[in-house]
Amino acid sequence: IAGPEFELSASSLTLALASSPASQTFVKGTQGVDAVGLAFTASLASGLKVTDVTLTGYVADSGSTVEIGVGTGADASLSVAKLVSAVKIYDGETGALISSTPASNNLNTSTGTVVFNNLAWNIPAGATKTLLVRADLSSLSVSGSSDVFSFDIDATTDVTALDDSNNTVNAAAGDPNGATSATIFQTVSSGGTLAATLAPASPSTGAVYWGQSNVEFSKFRFTSTNEAYFIERLNLDTADTAANMTANIKNVTLAYTALDEVTNQLVEKTAIGTFNNAGSVSFAFSGSNRPYVPKDSSADVTVLANLKNNSEGATNAVNFSIDFSGGAADEFRAIGAGSDALAIGTDAGIVNRAGNNQYVYRVFPRFTKVADSVSSLTPTDSEVLRFTVEAMGLSDASLVFDGATDAASGTIKFEIVASGSDTTATPTFNVYDAANDELLDTGSLADTTADPSPNASLSFDFSSKTGGVEISGGNSKTFYVRVDLSKFADDGDYFQIVLRDDEASLVKWQSNSEDTTSVTSVLRQLPLFGTTKVRNI
């Protein structure tokens, strides 16, 4: 009687290059550099306990062609030991330390090895685990701008393991990282760089009001190369009139990310400062309060301001920016996390960076269109726009439109985008308070001809309302505009009203009793587009 057949297989260990880490650049003195990952695979026949590993180190002044232990010829002064002060091995999957105490270290000789004995690293049958080689870099100078090193397992006998039957198993083949033609190698640089720029998310020019809190004025980005940085000193100032800023800014807050020295976790931090009479403020940081810029990455520092109010001497209709001041050596200081090298204000990447100007008003109007679902044009007196004006200011401020008293005290000028064929009459308009349908203004569209061209305009000054219209800070009013569209009777005729932001003084108002006019691109909710009404027959 024949029984089933069985195929017997021997225990084996296969080495390969792991997918991570990749080749990178680090600054001398950096600790905990992941140098290479080596994949160990046990066959299905048996699990393995790795007891001994010999790593071979390689070095060169550049590129992937490297020498064992020490350099030769013109690179004879190089050695792995000059670049690497300590080597440890870890389980790449769990992060557990396998060993930090080599039995021998010959990285300063042509032998170029570092040997780990008496290990107990287990690999289950049929499984793959990664041996992660981690190095602390020396603070010694590199030979030029940079040098390179790599690690590999050179010979099959450089790994010893025991199978489930306590038999010795060596690696099936060596050099998974390419030996003297390294696939993964790490570059050691003499130092990193840090650059300051205005962050893409820094606020555009806009309007702010007296007493407003935590107004974002600027956002500056710091970008590192080759190593992480801790910022220890940072200055802000303005390239505009300092008196305008000091009259209106009570204090500023920096919001940033720091690295907690105890937990090694990123944490959000703030720092508060006050501008001096020259319009400058300096921040100093230490320990876990220092803004942190990760290696080969960037970090933003946000500048928020608390504005003064009426009793604190704020001024109306002035503008300024809050800028990063980095032109002098003592205005900025950061320290490399690995090299301890300084980045200061005279470095190439640390230069003055201007924020965008913000316009300070006691109160200013914020325009919002009320939704309109009707797009068909009826040739009669019709509503063409409904909109809300919110007075952006504290409760002690009042936004007044009183153009009947003085045109500079309250007008809103809309542009008309329209067709039309009548040349004998100019369409009329009326403006109403939506709360009670009170007539606030009436008039005719303005143009050089009676035919409203795309450049026609509609200006209203609230002249039908005695004393004008007043909106207290924090409140709003809704208005609607009706226009006589009786001359728009042809098929395809269209009409649209638009409040643009392409020229100054399209909006004029009083901040309490002070005449104030709009500035191009400052009232950021503009332009405001009314619904295009189209005649369809």
Low-confidence ranges of the chain (pLDDT < 50): 6-8, 448, 450-453
What pLDDT is recorded for position 218? 98
Give the right CATH number for 193-361 from 2.115.10, 1.20.1070, 2.40.128, 2.60.40: 2.60.40
What pLDDT is recorded for position 424? 55
Same fold, 13-189 and 193-361: yes
What pLDDT is recorded for position 421? 55
**DSSP code per residue over 386-400:** EEEEEEES-TT-EEE
ω into 102 cis (within 30 of 0): no
Exposed, middle or buried: residue 339 (CB in 10 Å: 0-12, 13-18, 19+)?
Answer: buried
Residue recorded with tokens 């809309």: 414
Domain chopping of the chain, boundaries? 13-189, 193-361, 364-534
pLDDT tens for 381-419 read 999 999 999 999 999 999 999 876 676 678 999 999 998
What pLDDT is recorded for position 448? 47
Give the right CATH number for 13-189 from 2.30.30, 2.60.40, 3.30.70, 3.40.960: 2.60.40
What pLDDT is recorded for position 9? 63
Q: Which of 248, 401, 358 has its CA nearest to residue 310?
A: 248
What pLDDT is recorded for position 8? 46
CATH number of 364-534: 2.60.40
Residues 512-515: contacts with CB under 8 Å, at least 24 apart = 512/362, 512/363, 512/397, 512/398, 512/400, 514/316, 514/317, 514/362, 515/406, 515/408, 515/409
What pLDDT is recorded for position 427? 81
What pLDDT is recorded for position 6? 46
